[in-house]
Amino acid sequence: MLNAHGTEIDFNVAKTLMDEKLRDEIQCRLGPCSDEEFFFTYAAAHYETFGEVFEFAKKFPVMPKN
């Protein structure tokens, strides 16, 4: 999928780096939804909660090394 900057990201990898509590709260609130809707909702909530941009929402995210 693409983030807001048009950078291709792996949603499954991004999901593993999300804050677990915040991720679960959003999942409960949104229920079934597209990966894109979940990602953008999480990115906004991450910023509101932690005061920083979620790594995978950045123009040049640093991808974890395998």
Q: Give pLDDT, residue 22.
A: 97
Parse the chain into domains and list their residue ranges: 11-57
Residue 9 pLDDT grade (very low, low, confident, very high; cuts 50, 70, 90):
very high
pTM for this entry: 0.90
pLDDT, tens only, 19-63: 999 999 999 999 899 999 999 999 999 999 999 999 999 999 987
Exposure class string for 18-35: b at 16+ Cβ within 10 A, else e: beeebbeebeeeeeeeee
Give the mean model confidence (pLDDT) for residues 6-16: 93
